[in-house]
Chains A and B, each alone.
Chain A
Amino acid sequence: MQAKSLLEKYGIRSIESTYVKSEKELINFIEKVGSNVVIKAISEKALHKSKAGLVMLNISEENAASSFNSLIKKAKPYAPFKVLAQKMAEPGVEMVIGGREDDQFGKLILLGLGGIFVEAFKDFSLRVCPIERYDAEKMISELRSRDVITYNGKAEKMVVELLMKVSKMLQENEIKELDLNPIIIRQNSYDAVDLRVIE
């Protein structure tokens, strides 16, 4: 959960989540957040969690035990792994914000259409850190999917702010690769649902 606290340090909220070791811990978490949750098996060996069937949605107190056990079974081939329980995010547009260290130019920051569309559409824009507000606005306007993302001015402003924060975070930390994928963008709010940091 180090990555999560790193994000928080830069004012980037990620969705409420915790690692759970047992059904009991999972049920406690569901009670605490007061809504259904998602469970994911996290393994170094699986970049595509949903493709590998390692993500289960809509987990309630009733189906928690059976779901937990079935996820463990599916994740066996990817051992060692941990189980992450996460509050269900409200629907929105799935985007990716990422970064990587380039040998030549230094830290790069990426914005793109996220989730399962990342590789299908390869709709993204890229800049060198640090970025200015103008660069962040340009990154949005360059996307083919810009109209889907910025259906109102508020969401656009929010994405600009997010990009500036991520750029600062990339600049100030030893990060080789970063994926916030997906980060769910809604009219007035967002949720960083999944993150991956390689230091």
Chain B
Amino acid sequence: MMNPKSVAVIGASRDPDKVGHIILQNYVDAGFLGKLYPINNSIKPGENIIGLKAYRSVLEVKKPIDLAVIAVPAPVVPTVLEECGKAKVKSAVVISGGFAEVGEVELQNRIVEIAKKYNIAMLGPNCLGIMDPESRIDTLFLPTYKLSRPHVGGVSFVSQSGAVGSTILDLIAKEGFGLAKFISYGNAAYVDEVDLLEYLLHDKKTKVIVMYIEGIKRGKEFIEIVKKVSKVKPIIVIKGGITEEGMQAAHSHTAALAGNNEAYEAVFKQFGLVRAKDLDDLLYFAKIFSSEELPKGNRVAIITNGGGTGVLTTDAVYVNGLKLAEFSDETKKELRKVMPSIVNIRNPLDLAGDADEKRYSDALSLVSKDPNVDMLIVIVLFQTPGADSTVASKLIYFKKNIDKPMIAITVGSDYTQTHKIMMESSGLPVYDSPMAAASALAELYKYWKYKNKIV
């Protein structure tokens, strides 16, 4: 399903507004290198759809098909899937809605039965399907001019909801970090989050997993798989739907306090998942986890060219359960030698408003080596005279050459944004606010504690 050599698009259409047309077009746009078979039962023999030879049914193709993308009305899906089974199609993504989500449970059960009977790995129904920028798979029915596709990277994103999934995908494309796999699994009738986590655990391209879930079907299996995964790869999770269900019948204080949402929260904490409370968090955390070494403690060094921003960042560091590092005597001595007298040798290290590339470089090379420092936050206010592209390049250089987590904070409009993109696309996570930066570092630290069983 994830790396097919041949794909049939069932419900492919010439009408550019039809889902089946967009999916086919997207495959072509993405530069898919395998075989592509448009299927449409009202097509005449010998007809083409966007220049590709079309078929009336998968049974007419008579060649191996790894994946069928199904975008036909729900009542027709069982017939189409049955044909896929007979044509020995290995996997299917059912894009079509109109199943359990609208009460058509029986129809959904029927297609699950068919998938089981023919041993077809089936994703959906009611989903966007999958996207893999590397193997150029793209079953999304959202035109590429409307939804930007991220470049290749290490974050895999699994979403129960297509809406949340696609909007985050659009945002990821804007951020500097890339995507390994996007999987929208909809009603999870057959393949569910447990199967997907199992797959991503072994997927070499996936370094970080981001999940949007509403409900889990197999709670105990979910626990078993996240236990395995979170030891190897961080899982960032956002949970939608906080229900009060089951709380009414509580006979004890315990049941009254520990409802459904609390149970999820407990599972996330206990098994090392990183919980994002909002979509912003999701991106902030994904960004840092995809590019960072883990810290070995919670002592932060702040290097800044703006005093007040340094103060705000100090506050954010403590609010998020981290603390400021105390520079070693050696570091202080060496800093004193190279810094102008207007620079106070303390953490946060305020390089002053005229700090240039040289001053940042001197500070970074000394502070990053200090054994008392576990992580670095570098603030660059690009509005100041000395801060320009040479400073951004220097930061990128250090990011690549030090083995401690390092992130940057920049605040500002066009000129700043240009430099932000420059740094981010080179692998340095950049944040717009001290609070976002510190909370991301704090999650990194918590995950390190979890992995090392530190209370």
Contacts and interface: CB of A to CB of B under 8 A. Distances in A.
Interface in A112-153: 112, 118-119, 122, 124-128, 131, 134-135, 137-138, 141-142
B219 interface: yes
B255 A177 contact: yes
B198 interface: no
Contact of B252 (A98, A112, A119, A124): A98
Interface in B223-270: 223, 246, 250-258, 260, 262-263, 265-267, 269-270
Contacts of A108: 254, 258, 263, 266
Contact of B263 (A98, A125, A126, A196): A126
Interface stretch (A28-36, A59-67, A99-107): A99-107
A75 interface: no
A103 B257 contact: no
Contacts of A100: 252, 254-255, 258
B39 to A, nearest CB: 39
Nearest to A104: B219
B453 interface: yes
Interface string B438-455: 000000000000000101
Contacts of A138: 269-270, 455
A122 B267 CA distance: 19
A181 B253 CA distance: 8
B260 to A, nearest CB: 8
B266 A196 contact: no
Nearest to B271: A128
Interface residues of A, number: 34
B220 interface: yes
Given A98-B252, A137-B455, A179-B252, A128 B267 contact: yes
Contacts of A37: none
Contacts of B262: 126
B274 to A, nearest CB: 15
A198 interface: yes
Contacts of B219: 102-106
Nearest to A115: B253
A110 B257 CA distance: 9
A98 B270 contact: no
Nearest to A124: B257
Interface in A151-199: 177-179, 181, 196, 198
B216 interface: yes
A96 interface: yes
A47 interface: yes
Q: Among B220, B254, B266, B270, which residue has the most Cβ atoms of chain A within 10 A?
A: B254
B250 A177 contact: yes
Interface in A27-63: 47
B30 to A, nearest CB: 38
A88 to B, nearest CB: 22
B14 to A, nearest CB: 46
Contacts of A196: 251-252
Contacts of A137: 455
B114 to A, nearest CB: 28
A188 to B, nearest CB: 22
Given A103-B246, A108-B263, A134-B453, A47 B251 contact: yes
B252 A178 contact: yes
Contacts of A47: 251-253
Contacts of B255: 98, 100, 177
A47 B250 CA distance: 10
Nearest to A140: B455
Q: Among A104, A134, A181, which residue has the most Cβ atoms of chain B within 10 A?
A: A104
A106 B270 CA distance: 14
Contacts of A110: 254, 257-258
A175 B173 CA distance: 49
B448 to A, nearest CB: 14
Contacts of B257: 98, 110, 112, 118-119, 122, 124
B31 to A, nearest CB: 42
A137 B253 CA distance: 22
Contact of A105 (B251, B263, B269): B263
A127 B270 contact: yes
Given A103-B246, A128-B223, A179 B254 contact: yes
Contact of B266 (A127, A134, A141, A177): A127
A126 B265 contact: yes
Nearest to A112: B257
A122 to B, nearest CB: 6
Contacts of B265: 126
Given A105-B223, A137-B455, A96 B254 contact: yes
Contacts of B453: 134
Contacts of A102: 219, 260, 263
B242 to A, nearest CB: 14
Contacts of B220: 105-106
A89 B87 CA distance: 75
Q: Among B253, B260, B265, B270, which residue has the most Cβ atoms of chain A within 10 A?
A: B253
A142 B223 CA distance: 21
22 contacts: A96-B253, A98-B253, A98-B255, A98-B257, A98-B258, A100-B254, A102-B219, A105-B223, A105-B266, A105-B267, A110-B254, A119-B257, A126-B265, A127-B269, A137-B455, A138-B269, A142-B269, A177-B252, A179-B252, A179-B253, A196-B252, A198-B251
Q: What are the 9 tightest A-B residue pairs by CB atom distance, in nearest-first order?
A: A98-B254, A104-B219, A126-B266, A177-B252, A179-B252, A105-B219, A137-B455, A100-B255, A102-B263
